[in-house]
Amino acid sequence: MTESSNGPGWKWVTLMAWRDSRRSRVKMVLFVLSIVFGLAALVAIRGFRTNVEDAIQSQSKELLGADVEFNSRSPYSAEIESYIDGLGGERTDEIRLATMGLFESNGGSRLVSMRAFEDSFPYYGVPETRPEVSMEQFHAERYVLLEESLYHQFEVSVGDQVKLGQIYFEVLGIMDRIPGESKLTGWVAPRVYISKNHLESTGLMQFGSRVSYRSYLKLENSDTIDEQLENERRFFRENRVGVDTVEEEQRELINSFQQVTDLLNLIGFMALILGGVGVTSAVHVYLSGKMDTIAILRCLGTKSSLGISIFLVQVSGLGLIASFVGSLFGTAIQFFIPVFVADYLPFELEARFSILDFGIGLFFGWLVCFLFTLLPLVPLRKISPLRVLRTGVENPGAMKKDPWVYLIVATLAVALFGFGFAQTDNLNVNLGFSGGLLVVLGLLSLIAWLFLKGIKKLVPKGLPFAWRYGIANLYRPNNRSVLMLVALGLGFIIVLSLFLTKEAILKQIIVDRGGNSSNMILFDIQPHQLAYVEAVLEDNSLPIVEAAPLINMRISELNSRPVREFMRRGSEREGGGRDRDQRDEDEGPEGWALRREYRSTYRDHLTETETLIEGTFVGEASIEDEPIPVSIEEGLTEDLDVSLGDRLVFDIQGLALEVEIASIRKVDWNQVRANFFFVFPKGVLDDAPGIFMVATRTPDAETTGKVQAELMEVHPNVSSIDLRSILSTIDDILGKITWVVQFMALFTILAGLMVMAGTIITSRYQRIRESVLLRTLGAGSKTIKGILFIEFAAVGFLASLVGGFVSIAATWSLMRFLFKLPLVVAWDAVGIGMVTMMVLTTVTGLLNSRGITKQPPLEILRDEST
């Protein structure tokens, strides 16, 4: 279309679009604002992902601190030692073990994870400490660096003493970051760092200690190391040695972050689509008021395509504004993300502006917004000029039969899919997104619709006028109540579901179940130390809830086949790289179940956390009864692919013992006590080298600290877990994780509120007319305000009801199928959430209805008629 003497061109169309927008610009900008939040979320996530990937690429070697890392739960065999040495280069070793730390600052103690490393580590990068300390100084004397959480928990200052094993270490500061580890606190045992030079003097390296060994190599040429190690995967697996390279570390980190960003993207997409639907709805109502204008223009000689071009230019411009604002907002948020997620990352994250990410956001944002607005626009091309003579002629609402509408919907689907692909770089994830979104939105719409229907039937007829009228407004034509409920409910569901899930998990592991349940566990007790431990508990009037022997063992044969054979097959299956989507679907035992070290016990009874579900529990047997009848935990039968009657051979400190599965138990792992995969009968392992654990119940944290201190003084190797402090740590970690997701969900809530605001603004004229009519008939402004209040409160109530209902259902699904735990609903949180939702909705509704009752009816009608 060009400007010519025969007719107007784009210049005129643009001029008309500009002119037409003059009296409704604020309203129009509000329409498209609902798409801004979803887009901002997606741009922020994309920017975050780019920054993370850049950081991982640029700090690749610092991630590991070396070129290769080997790790094992037991000292390396001679073969492994020889292999590692054969790789050449420089080598440095680290020992990790769990032990008790006694903090002189306030006399408290806690199970800690001690890392003893050599002065040559790390080869790449430097440990970051507070205050900044010299590593030379650290390795020279008995110094300790603490994880920040310990620093705060025990009110530690630089120079304080911490007892680890038999000796005291002086606190040098906080270890903020060390290559290979995130700053996030350990769940059970926060980390402490000492020089390996002083490890031996702690006296902690003894039988029963839970030690792991790590070796780091700096190679002269690390280019081919991945290929080289890939060929030896079976060898390492058979020797139960883990290997990690820079490339693997990079890949794993990128994969992990992709999973996180995929989840966040899903939430962002929900907000975007929600906003898009809101835009469609608002623009539909807006354009309904433009039908006469189009008819007049057609009457004056405008071609149909030219008439809608005016509004096409308008919505296109609006889309550009929305996507620009959204992309700008998202880019700004991206700069704040590092502040919130720094603790989770094992590397420095620096936010950078990416013109590409901004451009992608701008383009797709515009396209999605444009297509959403195009939906209500295309039917307008069918408006007849005859409408100027007869209002209502040829209602163009028959979108269903319009092939252009189908084309736009298809283009919209392709655009969203394309945007999804640009965000995730993964076809399968993207397909899952699209399907999931459709299902979620469809289901939610259905539930909202059912609730609306239900409420209509349940509302008593004898309610006061304002109540009846306010509720009836929910069913007003073009009120878009279902859209409002979905838009408002969606964000609420995400936030509430996450909160409920977190609370439900915490409630499952809540320590204080009352009665005789334990809240403190002592372990790593040598047989000769057991009597002393029991005496300390007795002196402090503490009960022994449970005392169990623990014997370490590994599986060496399964149904007469050496475990190595299964592992070999597993290695072959895993060969050829680890693609993100690759799934091992082969039958057979799981590798981890074969490789792991089992801590088994023996007794002649089942405990209250166990239920026999198959076979016969044998309480006593003799070593001569080989194969020994043992009881196995239900879940492990699946992982080991075994059933009743199957036989295994255990390697117990070099001694082979054949056992037969005589019974299968269901174990309630949620109860805090010593639970086991394998339970042996008494009389078989009684003389085997083992250690003990004792569970007790302390009345308060003070008694717990006193017992810990007494035990540590005499037997520093005995470790204990105070379940109260673990609970607060878990609460803290879950809180941080859910916060990030909830933060993104906030955008969905904002998008929902904007959709609602847009819907209310577009129905403002209708509300005004009703209000004027009611006032003409004698209704006071108080009654009108009451009606509005009831209507918005009802929307809020229904949205929170729908949201609450779906949240509980979603939490139940997560608990049942993902965490395999029963549902415990935090009703107080549900109640607070619902009330907050109602207040937010009502306030948003009333704010957008201001002025309806303040001016004289005639004045409002004249003013609003455009």
Positions touching another protein (CB under 8 A) are 3-9, 12, 15, 19-24, 292-293, 296-304, 384-386, 388-390, 862-863, 865-866
Of residues 17 and 64, the one with the C-beta less far from another protein: 17
The Cα–Cα gap between 524 and 691 comes to 6
SS3 content of the chain, % helix, strand, coil (to 5): 55, 15, 25
Integer distance in angstroms from the first to the last C-alpha of the chain? 29
Helix (H, G, I), strand (E, B) or coil at 602: strand
665-689 burial code (b ≥16 CB/10 A, e <16)? bebeebebbbbbbbbbbbbbbeebe
Min dist CB 864 to another protein, Å, is 9
Q: How distant, in Å, are the alpha carbons of 17, 63, 464 from that of 314?
A: 6, 50, 44
Min dist CB 863 to another protein, Å, is 7
How would you class 854 by CB atoms within 10 Å of its CB: exposed for 0-12, middle for 13-18, buried for 19 or more?
Answer: exposed
| DSSP-assigned letter for residue 22 | G
Of residues 82 and 865, the one with the C-beta less far from another protein: 865
Phi, psi of 305 (to 5 degrees): -65, -35
How many helices (H) and strands (E) would you count in the chain? 27, 21
Helix (H, G, I), strand (E, B) or coil at 372: helix
Min dist CB 302 to another protein, Å, is 6
Tell how far CA 407 is from the center of its chain.
Answer: 36
CA torsion sign, 358 to 364 to 367 to 370?
negative
Min dist CB 478 to another protein, Å, is 20
Of residues 15 and 443, the one with the C-beta less far from another protein: 15
Min dist CB 768 to another protein, Å, is 14
With a CB cutoff of 8 Å and minimum separation 6, the contacts of 329 are 36, 37, 39, 40, 43
Within 591-662, where are the H helices?
Answer: 591-595, 634-640
Min dist CB 859 to another protein, Å, is 11
CA torsion sign, 550 to 552 to 557 to 563?
positive
Of residues 298 and 697, the one with the C-beta less far from another protein: 298
Of residues 296 and 321, the one with the C-beta less far from another protein: 296
Of residues 728 and 865, the one with the C-beta less far from another protein: 865
Strands (E), 444-583: 520-525, 544-558, 561-562
Of residues 197 and 293, the one with the C-beta less far from another protein: 293
Min dist CB 318 to another protein, Å, is 15
Of residues 27 and 468, the one with the C-beta less far from another protein: 27
471-486 burial code (b ≥16 CB/10 A, e <16)? bebbeeeebbbbbbbb
Q: Are 94 and 116 in contact (CB under 8 A)?
A: yes
Q: Which two tokens stand for residue 509?
A: 């592991």
The Cα–Cα gap between 525 and 304 comes to 88
Helix (H, G, I), strand (E, B) or coil at 707: helix
Of residues 25 and 152, the one with the C-beta less far from another protein: 25
CA-derived radius of gyration, the chain: 34
The torsion region of residue 653 among left (phi > 0), alpha (psi -120 to 50) and beta comes to: left
The torsion region of residue 391 among left (phi > 0), alpha (psi -120 to 50) and beta comes to: beta
Min dist CB 4 to another protein, Å, is 6
Residue with tokens 């002269």: 220
Min dist CB 373 to another protein, Å, is 18
Min dist CB 786 to another protein, Å, is 30
Of residues 390 and 605, the one with the C-beta less far from another protein: 390
Of residues 253 and 310, the one with the C-beta less far from another protein: 310
Of residues 301 and 645, the one with the C-beta less far from another protein: 301
Min dist CB 493 to another protein, Å, is 40
Min dist CB 10 to another protein, Å, is 12
Min dist CB 24 to another protein, Å, is 7
Min dist CB 423 to another protein, Å, is 38
Min dist CB 848 to another protein, Å, is 22
The Cα–Cα gap between 318 and 369 comes to 8
Long-range contacts of 219-227 (CB under 8 A, 24+ apart): 219/67, 219/68, 219/87, 219/88, 219/89, 220/88, 220/89, 222/67, 222/68, 222/246, 225/67, 225/68, 225/87
Of residues 293 and 434, the one with the C-beta less far from another protein: 293
Q: Are 504 and 815 in contact (CB under 8 A)?
A: yes
The Cα–Cα gap between 763 and 478 comes to 8
Of residues 399 and 861, the one with the C-beta less far from another protein: 861
Of residues 314 and 481, the one with the C-beta less far from another protein: 314
